[in-house]
Each structure stands twice: as C-alpha cells, then as structure tokens.
Amino acid sequence: MSLITKINNIFSKTESKDLLGVSLRQQSLAFFSQPEHGEQQFQQVNSPLAEQPLQIKIQQKEHQLLGLCHLVLASSQTQIVQVDKPNIPESELNAALKWQIKDLVNFSPEDMVLDYFDGPEVNGGAQKLNVVCASKKELLTLISPLNSEGLTLKSITTEEFAFASLLPVQNDACLMVCQQPNEEIVLLIVKQGKIFFSRRLRGFAQIASKTEEELSFGIIDNLNLEIQRSTDYFERQLKQAPIKNIRILIPARTETHILDKLADNTHIAISLLQLPEHYQNYRHLAASIGTLMELDAEAVQ
C-alpha cells in the first residue's frame, strides 16, 4: 500500500517501464533508477529539503532519469496519528478524518492530503485507523519536477512503508529498527506484510556519526529501552503473540557494533536486515529501494 496517495493518470501519456525510487531527507535526497534496459543507478545528493524540488530537476537532466517515479517523503513532511474509526461510509472517511485529526497535526484541513490504514484489532476495543497526512502545498512543489520530461509520478509513500517492504512476508511478528542517513530512527512491527505498529524516535538522527565509545554513553541503552517499550506495548496492550525477531538497518560504520550491544540486552533473535544481494552495498539508499520493492509486494497480493 502506498501513502500518502497514489497519483495515477495525472496527465495522459505513454508510460515507460523504467522505474525510479526517490527518497527525501532533511539534508539530502537519494534515488535508485531501475531501467528496463541498461544499468541501475544509485545516487545520494546533498541538498537541504527546501531546495530538493530544484535539485530533482537537475538530477533528472544530468542522469537522464526516465520512467515511473515513486517518491518517499522525509519524516518531517508527514505525520501519522491513530484515531477511532468513524462509523460512516468508506466514501466519506477522507473528508471526515481531516476534521477529526485537525488538532492533532500541524496541517490545516484546507492544506491536508491524507490516507489511512487499519490499526491492529484488539478484542473489545474500538476499531482504529492510522492516518497519514502531509501538506498539499508542499506536495505540489514535488509533483511538477517528478511528472515532467519523461517522468511520471505514480505514488507517494512514507519511510515506514518503504522500510516495511524490505522485509519478506512472514507469519511471525518482526520488529524493525530502520533509519535513513541523518533522519530519526523508525521502529516498526511488521507481521504478514502489514504494519501493526510504528514509532519515530527523536534524538537518534546523528547516531551514525558517533564512535563506539560515544555510543556507550547511553545512546544504545536508550535505543534498547525504546525497543523494549515497543515490544511490551505490542504484546501486552495489543495482545499479540511475542515478537520472534528484530532486524536492524542503520547505515553506519558502527552498525554491527550497535547490533552486538543491542543483542546483549534482549532474548529475541536479532540480526541485520538483509537487502537483496546486489543491493547490499546501498544500505544508505534503502528507502528508495524499498519503495520499488513495495510495488512487487503489491503485485503478488
């Protein structure tokens, strides 16, 4: 499932079968180009978020990027909130949710684009919806450069869904600890290909720049505490079967050290999240790769 919204048929044009995954961050953007014929391209470009619409145009011309584009928004561009599902027809949900969440997010109803996905069912509890929203005005600045000169913008999604798509579908619940460079860490609990739980952790954006000694000054302990809180909530509050494994994707030279230290404080099997073999050297571009793998998962469903 792609969020915030799928953008189909914005303009009528012949569509290329080339694919382009673009992920935005606070200080850089990354893209993964997968042409139908020819070599794949991987690129990370330093650029402040506000300048990235222009930078996308520059990269499109410089690298002759073509085809169907799938965009991952930076975490600062979206908000996710959980609310009780209104007892109204599905066709009316989007309009109603804008007003239901208006005091919970930073976007006004008039400037809000949203989508939603079901929360986990809890016996005796109200049915929940996870609502994902972004600024319509900000999205419009991105649509133009990604929907011109040989590109067709097909979907807009979030880090959460891009990362979840990197995990093979499995029946047991898996907790994922994932990060884009210089972004906050995302905690996800994924089961049967669906996101059951997600959290964005503040204060860990610079974890990749820390030495092993600096990491020992409470950073890993704090991360371990957040992992434990999330597993407790999933198992006790949501009354789900215990998490069977933890997967780590933190693109840093200390990634294995972080993994080892986290393993010292958990009884759950923990390992690095493995990307497909030919992508292993591009862990820092995982979100842009994940958004294209999300398409493969949808095709199977």
Arithmetic mean of pLDDT, 274-299: 81
| Best CA proximity match to 42, nearest among 248, 279, 274 | 279
Return the higher-pLDDT residue of 146 and 7: 146
CATH class of 167-274: alpha beta
CB atoms within 10 A of CB 57: 16
Q: Which residue intervals of the chain bear CATH 3.30.420.40?
A: 167-274
pTM: 0.89
Arithmetic mean of pLDDT, 275-297: 83
| Spatial contact of 128 and 118, defined as CB atoms under 8 Å apart | yes
pLDDT at res. 8? 41
| Best CA proximity match to 32, nearest among 274, 301, 215, 281 | 281
Arithmetic mean of pLDDT, 132-136: 95
- Specify the residue for token string 């215990």: 242
Arithmetic mean of pLDDT, 92-117: 93
Condensed to tens digits (0 to 9), the pLDDT of residues 201-253 reads 999 999 999 999 999 999 999 999 999 999 999 999 888 999 999 999 999 99
295: confidence class by pLDDT, cuts 50, 70, 90: low
- List CB contacts of 231: < 8 A, sequence separation 6 or more: 175, 189, 242, 243, 268
CATH class of 1-166+277-301: alpha beta
Arithmetic mean of pLDDT, 128-144: 92
pLDDT at res. 296? 52
Q: Which residue intervals of the chain bear CATH 3.30.420.380?
A: 1-166+277-301
Bridge-based pairing state of the strands 112-118 and 128-135: antiparallel
